[in-house]
Amino acid sequence: MVTITRTLDVPEDRTLVIQLPDTVPPGPHEVVVTISEDTAGRIASISNAEELMRFAGTVRSLSRIDGLEYQRRIRAEWE
């Protein structure tokens, strides 16, 4: 994986054109764009808790586990 960091001015039409370095071969790639929260707070940020909750219950191998019972069992080990 290659990480490329650029600071860009977003125009009114919100279109970005990014020139990739020659080290990135042509072909299909997964590209992730991260927009940082600006100092004026115009962009609503998602806390880590909210982001994690989007994935709650999506791990099939854990769907048969009662989360509350698991927590109680773990806490009982420390008593």
Q: Alpha helices, DSSP H only, in 1-79? A: 48-53, 67-78
pLDDT > 70? residue 66: yes
**What's residue 42's pLDDT?**
52
Residue with tokens 């998602």: 46
The residue among 75 and 6 whose pLDDT is bigger is: 75
CB 8 within 8 A of CB 14: no
- Could you tell me the pTM of the whole model? 0.38
**What's residue 17's pLDDT?**
85
Q: State pLDDT tens for residues 15-54.
A: 888 888 888 899 998 888 887 766 445 545 556 677 777 7
